């Protein structure tokens, strides 16, 4: 890296200035080097899942970068009692990156090790930044700006591999150490805020699952023992088969485990449909909708979207004689979905389906109408809180993506 105040001739002829910079750095010089010039690269050694134990020396396995350490390592969890002849021990600030993965983009998942003397397992690339390089900045840079380039250099079929020598040749564009620190600190704060929102959503969803368990307890007892006043769903559900064409009167929607969403938000195959008079099924607000072939995956919900058209393979029902949001807790519970599988018919797993007639035969135990309303009110409050947090999470992720694309080159 050049130590004078002039901008170096970049190795990458397409080198550009970041779109977004902190004001105090907007006129500062930029640098460009290959990774091996600004960091030392080495590899981890040994260790597998079988070597883990309840206590012992702290360690990190390459697979944990996909499941446990997604960008930042606050606390090292794994330990081992295995004694290696030549263990690779970390230095605080080391960047670790997997050299193997299931997909090419897995390879660029990197994280910063926060402490010394952590045993680093095999198939881990260890990147030790030299002077004037902030570890977190470089880790974020590699994980985001170099993801596609690293993927192109990877090879393999069932397991994808990358090589230290290829990673070492990556071109790195970077500002001064002070600006690197500003960028990484700012993004870390944003990530921690995202993590807090995720934890809040997780807590609320677990609370909602607890409500579903409470609502289902008498029904589960009936399914197991036959004891209880159970009523078939046909007393609450009334199938509707209303059809229309795609003429703009209703929005085109789809049904998935996420509920009902705009078709444009998922892969749209409409261009393959040559028949402009194709019939679609019409659904309305507060109808029960499900995919008979994908009920096993949880594709069932109450329509909270509103009027729309979707595939005629979906089944729709008007709901009467029961509080709608109370029924939603029942039909979206894992217990209900698992129990409904006894009604599946078909010879090929992918095509095995629960018909609308069979769905309506399932018996459930309900509580009084007043109690249903009280439970539904609690669930509705939870849903609104979760929805608000999910909107906040989406905005945070969008902000982070925008910043990553603007502050790195």
Q: Could you read off the pLDDT of 225-251 as tens digits, one per residue?
A: 999 999 999 999 999 999 998 888 899
Please compute the mean of the pLDDT values over residues 328-342 and round it to a whole number. 97
Q: pLDDT value at position 71?
A: 72
359-377 pLDDT, tens digit each? 999 999 999 999 999 999 9
- pLDDT per residue as tens digits for the range 27-54: 888 899 999 999 999 999 988 889 999 9
Strands 111-112 and 308-310: unpaired
pLDDT digits (tens, 9 = 90+) for 120-169: 999 999 999 998 999 999 999 998 889 889 888 888 776 888 899 999 99
In this prediction, residue 16 has a pLDDT band, given cuts at 50, 70 and 90, of: low
Q: Averaged over 289-308, what is the pLDDT?
A: 96
The helix (H) or strand (E) run that includes residue 231 is strand 231-232
Instruction: Name the helix (H) or strand (E) containing 383.
Output: helix 369-407
Per-residue pLDDT, 13: 43
**Percentage of the chain exceeding pLDDT 90:** 68
Q: Between the CA of residue 302 and those of 154, 231, 283, 285, what are the distances in Å?
A: 44, 20, 10, 8
Q: Look up residue 312 and give its two tokens.
A: 């005629």
User: What confidence score (pLDDT) does residue 3 get?
Assistant: 40
**Alpha helix (H) ranges present in 269-342?**
324-331, 334-340
- Fold agreement (23-175, 207-380): yes
Note the pLDDT of residue 275: 54
* Cβ burial 138-159 (10 Å sphere, 16+ → b, else e): bbbbbbbbbbeebbebbeeeee
Q: CA separation (Å) from 360 to 253, 349, 354?
A: 25, 22, 10
Does residue 402 carry a pLDDT above 80? Answer: yes
Q: How far apart are CA 162 and CA 155, in angstroms?
A: 7
Q: Span 23-175: which CATH code?
A: 3.90.220.20
Average pLDDT over residues 94-103: 89
Helix, strand, coil percent values for the chain (each to nearest 5) = 40, 20, 40
pLDDT at position 263 is: 83
pLDDT of residue 148: 86
- Residues 135 and 222: their CA atoms lie apart, in Å, by 58
- At 191 the pLDDT is 86
330-353: average pLDDT: 92
pLDDT of residue 18: 85
Q: What is the pLDDT of residue 27?
A: 83
For residues 108 and 41, the model is more confident at 41
How does pLDDT run across 194-214, given as a tens digit for each residue? 989 999 999 999 999 999 999
Indicate the length of the chain as a whole number: 409
For the record, the structure tokens of 330 come out as 């029942």
Which among 331, 334, 404, 360 has a CA at the least distance from the CA of 144? 404
Predicted TM-score (pTM) of this structure: 0.74
Q: What is the pLDDT of residue 303?
A: 97
Could you report the per-residue pLDDT of 47-94, keeping only the tens digit for each?
A: 888 999 999 999 999 989 888 887 778 889 999 999 999 999 999 999
The pLDDT assigned to 145 comes to: 87
| Average predicted confidence (pLDDT) for the chain | 89
Q: How confident is the model at residue 342 (pLDDT cuts 50, 70, 90)?
A: very high
Out of 3.90.220.20, 3.10.129.10, 3.40.50.970, 3.90.470.20, the CATH code matching 207-380 is 3.90.220.20
Query: In the chain, where are the structural domains located?
Result: 23-175, 207-380
Please give the pLDDT value at position 276: 60
Going through 284-395 in order, the beta strands assigned E by DSSP cover: 288-290, 300-302, 308-310, 315-319, 363-364
């Amino acid at each position: 890296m050049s130590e004078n105040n002039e901008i170096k001739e970049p190795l990458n002829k397409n080198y550009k200035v970041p779109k977004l910079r902190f004001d105090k750095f907007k006129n500062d010089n930029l640098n460009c080097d290959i990774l091996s010039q600004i960091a030392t690269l080495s590899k981890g050694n040994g260790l597998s899942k079988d070597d883990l134990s309840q206590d012992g020396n702290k360690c990190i396995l390459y697979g944990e970068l996909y499941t446990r350490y997604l960008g930042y390592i606050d606390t090292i969890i794994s330990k081992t009692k295995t004694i290696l002849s030549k263990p690779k021990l970390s230095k605080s600030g080391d960047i670790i990156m997997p050299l193997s993965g299931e997909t090419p983009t897995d390879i660029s998942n990197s994280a910063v090790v926060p402490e010394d003397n952590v045993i680093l397992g095999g198939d881990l690339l260890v990147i030790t930044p030299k002077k004037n390089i902030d570890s977190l900045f470089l880790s974020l840079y590699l994980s985001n700006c170099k993801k596609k380039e690293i993927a192109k250099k990877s090879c393999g079929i069932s397991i994808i591999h990358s090589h230290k020598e290829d990673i070492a040749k990556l071109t790195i564009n970077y500002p001064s150490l002070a600006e690197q620190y500003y960028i990484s600190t700012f993004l870390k704060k944003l990530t921690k805020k995202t993590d807090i929102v995720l934890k809040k959503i997780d807590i609320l969803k677990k609370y909602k699952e607890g409500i579903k368990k409470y609502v289902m307890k008498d029904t589960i007892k009936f399914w197991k023992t036959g004891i209880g006043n159970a009523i078939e769903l046909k007393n609450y559900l009334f199938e509707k088969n209303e059809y229309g064409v795609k003429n703009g009167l209703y929005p085109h929607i789809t049904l998935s485990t996420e509920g009902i969403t705009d078709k444009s938000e998922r892969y749209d195959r409409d261009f393959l449909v040559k028949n402009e008079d194709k019939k679609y099924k019409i659904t309305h607000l507060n109808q029960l909708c499900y995919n008979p072939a994908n009920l096993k995956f949880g594709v069932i919900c109450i329509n909270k979207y509103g009027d729309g058209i979707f595939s005629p393979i979906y089944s729709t029902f008007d709901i009467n004689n029961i509080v709608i949001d109370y029924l939603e807790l029942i039909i979206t519970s894992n217990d209900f979905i698992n129990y409904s599988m006894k009604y599946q018919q078909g010879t090929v797993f992918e095509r095995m389906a629960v018909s609308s007639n069979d769905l309506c035969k399932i018996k459930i135990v309900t509580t009084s109408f007043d109690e249903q309303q009280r439970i539904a009110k609690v669930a509705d409050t939870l849903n609104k809180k979760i929805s608000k947090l999910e909107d906040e999470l989406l905005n945070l992720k969008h902000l982070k993506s925008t910043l990553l694309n603007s502050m790195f080159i």
